[in-house]
Structure 1
Amino acid sequence: MRRLSRLFIALSAVSCAFVQADDSVVETIEVKGDFRSQQLNKIPGSIAVFTDADMQRQNAQHLDDLLQQAANLNFSAGASRGRFLQVRGVGERSEFVDSINPSVGVLIDGIDYSILGVSSLFDLEQVEVFRGPEATRFGANAMAGMLNLQSRRADFDPSGELAATFANYDSLQLSAAYGQGLTDKLAFRLAVDHQQSDGFIDNNYLQRDDTNNIDETTAKLALRYLATEQLTLDWVTHWRDLDNGYDAFSLDRNRTTLSDQPGQDQQRSQGSMLSADYSGFGFARLFSQLSYLNADTDYGFDEDWSYDGIHPDGYSTTDRYLRDRSHWSAEQRLVSSTDRHWVAGWYHSQQKTDLERQYWDWDAWAPAQFFSHFERKNSALFGELSLALASDLELTLGGRAERYQDQYSDSKGITRQDDDWMFGGKASLSYQLSDRASLYGLVSQGYKAGGVNGEALGKADATGSAALADYLRERASFAPETLLNTEFGVKASNAEQTLVSRVALFAMWRDDMQVNSWVTRDQMFIGFIDNAASGRNYGLELESRYQFRPDWTLYGTLGLLRSEIRGFITEEGVDKTGRDQAHAPDYQYQLGSEWLLAERWSLNLALQSKAAFYYSDSHDAKSDQMHLVNLRLQYQLDQWQFALWSRNALNEDYGVRGFYFGNDPRDGYAEHTYEQLGEPRRLGVSARYQF
């Protein structure tokens, strides 16, 4: 911690050294996911914003491609796409039988897509990464942070875009968007995107190269209606049709599989959001929002990762999870229109999940089904007040009180109800050195709900061991978790905006830390959530951009992280106290440079690196260090843009999900680290026409 403090002081001095001369406002990036739109460099908190230019620079087609750019942001796959996020080492890594409570939520146009993931980045205005607890603004799904994705809204000025990308592995992306005013009060925007790829796996048993394929179609329709001078209505609806394969894990621990029954990762979803912005009160704006999402998912895999007959001691089973999810929410808040900034509001949501699991019952030695129903209601009151202590000093206080009510039942006869209150909030002090630089100190608390371990309870009687059955029954439920965060930051730029820097130093304390735990007996795997006594996470985040010359820009991000588990003993009796938390790499960085080679030509080169990290809290399997090189050569001709690009140009193998157990009968089921690998070298060409 002392080393991080010295580094932070040095970087702060550099950031502040050029803050002098005139006070012109130079920060133009606005954060839209907070209670009110604010300039990024004036918000007290560590927030990363990716604009359309950032996405193009990375050749990002999916959120996986973009996340490598952000400091202290990691993800895990365990499906055809990365959909489980970790901010500052905190977050979930998978979902199987039991519904999970995300530590890092995902909002797209105000619709909650947490756990379901992001299917396309096309027609996005920007992606905002809130790091640290955001309970006041977002509630229980933002204990560690929140990703807020904002699509381009309907506009009265005609605009459109056509785009196409072709890449190796038979990859194709076709996209189109257009919008304009239909009348002087009504405007629309429609966007459609289709992506397909054979994927990066060769199935030697089936002699196919598309068992881990991508086949995704998304569409969005947005409307804006100017009902009166004081009332604006916005409506957006999403459709997603994902028909991806899932055949990612190899007994030979490479990109070659032997599955005879490859799995699937499918999703059919429809989401809508209606919002109203009313300014007729004068003293405050009334913002109202209603959202709804329904998603049917089908996720399954070949459990043995092989074929029937591979070895006399082999087995051949599959595991499949069909979920029907629905989630609606309503929120109203008053946001002051005066110089004295305040917010007051309420929130209510209800979510339901019905699960059908089709699996092999090892005790009955027969195919089996499992059904469960989970329902949660959340109700909250929240508020925020900013006080100007001086012309350049502002104190902000915010809080949220949230109640959740859970109902759980399943086909094993297990029922459970939970009802609890959770409290979060923040206090920040922001000092404006000038219009180009600010310092802030922040204390915030986040939370997430407890729950029931239905899988563990359902298998307690089937273990064949009285001691193990008692162990699982003792973990029938898990307690809520709270996270306390302290943070100090500097945000600054020089007068010409050729140098922009943001630095944050943080320390976080986790109480009743929720950890994923496993019981493994031969081919029987029982997952459940346990509570460690506590956890500690601290580190630093740096984002900087320096334009050396009009034709040469250098940019970079750096995340340093130290984490620790305290008071957690696994089912095997191993004490994990003092060990790093899962998916919490010690460092992440990106260093990139962009050159204008000629009037219409530009070249971007970026190096992204990530330290090795543990895959789980309950075992010690680790990833390797990751080093990715990305290239993009672009030609701009009026409204046309053409690009030749490569991601992971050096073809590095790196893991995005990992397990440690025995699954190969050919070596007597010896234990190994099995990894799902990220994308290999990608080569592609893209064309884009904006009008």
Structure 2
Amino acid sequence: MCFSPSLLNTAIVAALAVSPGAFASASTDNLPAVTAIERFTVQGDLRQQNAAQLAGSLSVATEQDLARQSVQHLDELLNQFANVNYSAGASRGRFIQVRGIGERSEFVDTINPSVGILIDGIDYSGLGISGISDIAQFEVFRGPEATRFGANALAGMLNLITNGPTDSAEGKASLTLANYDSYQLAGQFSNAINSQWGYSLSLEQQVSDGFIKNTHLNRDDTNNIDEFTGRFKLAFQPGDDLKLQLISHVVDQDNGYDAFSLDRDRTTLSDQPGQDKLRSKALALQADYRGLTFARLQGQLSWLDADMDYGFDEDWSHVGLHPDEYSTTDRYLRDREQLTLDYRLVSNDAGRLGASDWVLGVYAASKEFDLTRQFWNWDLWQADTFASALSRSNLALYTELSTPLFEQLTLVSGLRLERYEDEYADSSANQINNSDTMWGAKLSLNYQPSPQALIYLLASRGYKAGGVNGDALAKAADDNLNELLTKASFAPETLYNAEFGVKGTALDQSLVTRVAAFYMWRQDMQVKGWLNPDSGPQFAGFIDNAGSGRNYGIEIENRLQLHPQFTLMLSASWLKTKLGNYVTLDGDDFSGREQAQAPRFSYNLAADWYLSDALTFNVGLQGKDAFYYSDGHNQRSSRYELLNLRLSYQLQQWQLALWSRNALDQDVGVRGFYFGNDPRDGYEPHLYEQFAEPRRVGLSASYQF
């Protein structure tokens, strides 16, 4: 599958053809309410505005989109979006890539993610997402979003907003049963206490044995899922001008981790299966004040504390497998505490003829990262411990100005200046202080030929912070690893983006089409490097700066109401990437090769067929091209197609659904390593892959009141 200029031209013509009178003859009087294509208001941008009027490539999903594919976790949801990928290396997909840019793992060294995650405005970047049953809206920003989100949005941002308080009592309870001894139990309730106070509560428990069979232990639950998520919101409106909201999150994840197999399938031989645990709690206070004559004051103060316990059986086998065996484990205990503040003034001039609309904001954050690693030290030939502490503070000022040039033409400009300071210390007596001042910007020219169409030209600049390679420093004392002294730290990365886009919506919303073409330049590109000096089980990991990189492509999204009972949705992307000048410490030259986790194409084709007022059939086909697993070796994933099916029946307040995800039972690789780890073949290098879920079949029931 590939995209040509003719396809881009067709999409642009289709978008421009959407005028106020388009599809005016299509009757919607008898359409089921759920078929209407909503006018989404983007919550994550500096100004709340319609998605069709926002310059930039953006996708929005709601609870309906989750139900269509029977989504239970972020992993399944991300497959719906063009040019979005993820990697696991843990019990869940935790690391996100947008347009081929993003991290694939985090071991010893603390990383600044290229694609961040916000839940109700709280920064969960690097932690992943657990429960999503209470989703109100999920937004995927593609491309540099430094002006809005700062250093965590080099390539994009995932923004999730959960359901909040309501004016009257509303609730929902749901239960899902599925194969692999899986169940999901969720409930939400919201209400108003009086005219000033309201609240919402959401609880979710998800349990599964996982999709791995450990033949040595004769268990099928060593890669299990056991996750609890609780969210509470309390809203207070003391007057017409002020709204306050207190948000509380709790996550208790007690998952197993036993995903990699020496036989390169879904059967493992581990005698010491690992774990992937997370205990986190978060609080946020949001304020919205409209009492100023010239501007609206919006802000959030948030706190998060997270304890993680991640570890695995390093040999993936058991004692007695082979005379040349080894038996070790690797464990990472992480503590993270952060305090963030983000306040801004949004002018009251929006919508006033000829007036400029402006935003002025300040952001500050303090983050503490503590690591204790328990591992086998091959140099000392004994169990060892490595500890590190990183203290990072960020301070940023940002502004955005929207200036009408003509009646249909607007210039939007934004700038963000951000300073970060790091204090690093570890048990190897390393103490390093790093600091830098970074800047991001955007400039877009927006032309609206009609209220239903937008054509934009966008230029933007993003950034991410540098850091310290603690793993490399800890192992540099070894005579064989002196070359790691040159990798003590790594520099910030910068990304430049040029983008052209067209968006169009029919007056009756029977057609929505969006297309974006982009070209991105990466400077001081951060890549993950490994040194394996003796071809044994000891690896030294570090983050390196390649010279540059190129990422360019096309993203297309369409929703079409073909018939009052039939809706078709298509999203697709084509992506081309290129590494700059990059030669590894082992001497491998990857200059000019495609970047890791960057599939050439991806697509999502879905249809809603309303067989009757009560019966609905949903079908979805998702595909992704093969991609390189790493920037340090040439092993690739396999191309795949996923078929998802769902048949639901609505009976007043009840809904029953029979569904299947990955109905064709495809093996989908979500993480890959290339090295030797099997003593039975003399530690011959192989591609070892972690796979996503196989065929899933389930039954869901929900009651809404």
Tell me whether 1:243 sits opposite 2:259 in the alignment.
no
- Partners of 2:550 and 2:191 lie apart in 1 by 50
Corresponding residue of 1:331: 342
- Partners of 1:639 and 1:342 lie apart in 2 by 45
Structure-1-length-normalised TM-score: 0.98
Tell me whether 1:528 sits opposite 2:539 in the alignment.
no
Structure 1 residue 154 displacement after superposition = 1.6
Corresponding residue of 1:347: 363
* Cα distance, 1:86–1:249 mapped onto 2, change above 3 Å: same
Q: Which amino acid aligns with 1:376?
A: R
- Partners of 1:195 and 1:574 lie apart in 2 by 44
Q: Which amino acid aligns with 1:486?
A: A
Corresponding residue of 1:366: 382
- Partners of 1:546 and 1:228 lie apart in 2 by 43
Tell me whether 1:186 sits opposite 2:202 in the alignment.
no
Q: Is the 8 A contact 2:23 2:508 kept in 1?
A: no
Structure 1 residue 78 displacement after superposition = 0.4
SS of 2:484's equivalent in the other structure is helix
SS of 2:539's equivalent in the other structure is strand
Structure 1 residue 599 displacement after superposition = 2.1
Corresponding residue of 2:21: 21
Q: Which amino acid aligns with 2:600?
A: D
Instruction: Work out the number of aligned pairs and report it.
Output: 686
Q: Which amino acid aligns with 2:562?
A: F
- The correspondence for 2:474, drawn from 458, 468, 487, is 458
Alignment of 1:273-352 (within 5 A): 273-339=284-350, 340-352=356-368
- Partners of 2:566 and 2:239 lie apart in 1 by 48
Structure 1 residue 184 displacement after superposition = 1.6
Corresponding residue of 2:100: 89
Q: Which amino acid aligns with 2:17?
A: A
Q: Which amino acid aligns with 1:45?
A: G
Instruction: Tell me how large the CA RMSD over aligned residues is.
Output: 1.4
- Partners of 1:292 and 1:18 lie apart in 2 by 45
* Cα distance, 1:416–1:23 mapped onto 2, change above 3 Å: farther
- Partners of 1:634 and 1:224 lie apart in 2 by 34
| Structure 1 residue runs without a partner (length 5+) | none
Corresponding residue of 2:85: 74
Structure 1 residue 4 displacement after superposition = 4.4
Q: Is the 8 A contact 1:654 1:677 kept in 2?
A: yes
Corresponding residue of 1:516: 528
Tell me whether 1:634 sits opposite 2:626 in the alignment.
no
| Structure 2 residue runs without a partner (length 5+) | 25-35, 351-355
Q: Which amino acid aligns with 2:105?
A: S
Corresponding residue of 1:657: 671
- Partners of 1:267 and 1:313 lie apart in 2 by 35
Corresponding residue of 1:601: 615
Q: Is the 8 A contact 1:553 1:595 kept in 2?
A: yes
Tell me whether 1:540 sits opposite 2:554 in the alignment.
yes
Q: Deviations over 1:104-156 (max 9, x none)?
A: 00000010000100001111101100000000000000010000000111222
Structure 1 residue 6 displacement after superposition = 3.9
- Partners of 2:227 and 2:673 lie apart in 1 by 27
Corresponding residue of 2:584: 570
SS of 2:476's equivalent in the other structure is helix
Structure 1 residue 8 displacement after superposition = 1.6
* Cα distance, 1:643–1:3 mapped onto 2, change above 3 Å: closer
Stretch moving more, 280-289 or 166-175: 280-289
Corresponding residue of 1:501: 513
SS of 1:281's equivalent in the other structure is coil
Structure 1 residue 501 displacement after superposition = 0.5
- Partners of 1:111 and 1:592 lie apart in 2 by 31
Q: Which amino acid aligns with 2:10?
A: A
Corresponding residue of 2:33: none
Structure 1 residue 572 displacement after superposition = 1.8
Q: Is the 8 A contact 1:4 1:539 kept in 2?
A: no
- Partners of 1:185 and 1:542 lie apart in 2 by 43
Structure 1 residue 496 displacement after superposition = 2.6
Tell me whether 1:687 sits opposite 2:692 in the alignment.
no
Structure 1 residue 269 displacement after superposition = 0.3
Tell me whether 1:175 sits opposite 2:160 in the alignment.
no
Q: Is the 8 A contact 1:40 1:47 kept in 2?
A: yes
Corresponding residue of 1:591: 605
Structure 1 residue 498 displacement after superposition = 1.5
- Partners of 2:184 and 2:38 lie apart in 1 by 34
* Cα distance, 1:27–1:390 mapped onto 2, change above 3 Å: farther
Alignment of 1:262-281 (within 5 A): 262-281=273-292
- Partners of 1:259 and 1:227 lie apart in 2 by 59
Q: Deviations over 1:337-391 (max 9, x none)?
A: 1133110011100100111100001111111111100110000000000001111
- Partners of 1:47 and 1:380 lie apart in 2 by 24
Stretch moving more, 128-137 or 178-187: 178-187
Q: Which amino acid aligns with 1:298?
A: D
Structure 1 residue 10 displacement after superposition = 2.3
Q: Deviations over 1:617-670 (max 9, x none)?
A: 011110000110000001011111110000000100110000000000000000
Alignment of 1:366-385 (within 5 A): 366-385=382-401
Q: Which amino acid aligns with 1:570?
A: T
Structure 1 residue 495 displacement after superposition = 2.6
Q: Is the 8 A contact 2:23 2:506 kept in 1?
A: no
Tell me whether 1:553 sits opposite 2:562 in the alignment.
no
Q: Is the 8 A contact 1:554 1:594 kept in 2?
A: yes
Structure 1 residue 22 displacement after superposition = 7.7
SS of 2:372's equivalent in the other structure is strand
- Partners of 2:281 and 2:267 lie apart in 1 by 35
Q: Deviations over 1:63-117 (max 9, x none)?
A: 0010000000000000000010000000000000010110000000010000100
Tell me whether 1:120 sits opposite 2:131 in the alignment.
yes
SS of 1:138's equivalent in the other structure is helix
* Cα distance, 1:15–1:211 mapped onto 2, change above 3 Å: same
Q: Deviations over 1:531-555 (max 9, x none)?
A: 0000000000001011111111111
- Partners of 1:506 and 1:445 lie apart in 2 by 13
Structure 1 residue 227 displacement after superposition = 1.8
Q: Deviations over 1:271-329 (max 9, x none)?
A: 11101111000211011210010000000000000001110000000000000100110
- Partners of 2:38 and 2:682 lie apart in 1 by 61
Structure 1 residue 20 displacement after superposition = 4.9
- Partners of 2:7 and 2:548 lie apart in 1 by 27
Structure 1 residue 403 displacement after superposition = 0.1
Q: Which amino acid aligns with 1:99?
A: T
Alignment of 1:87-236 (within 5 A): 87-236=98-247
Corresponding residue of 1:490: 502
- Partners of 1:35 and 1:493 lie apart in 2 by 23
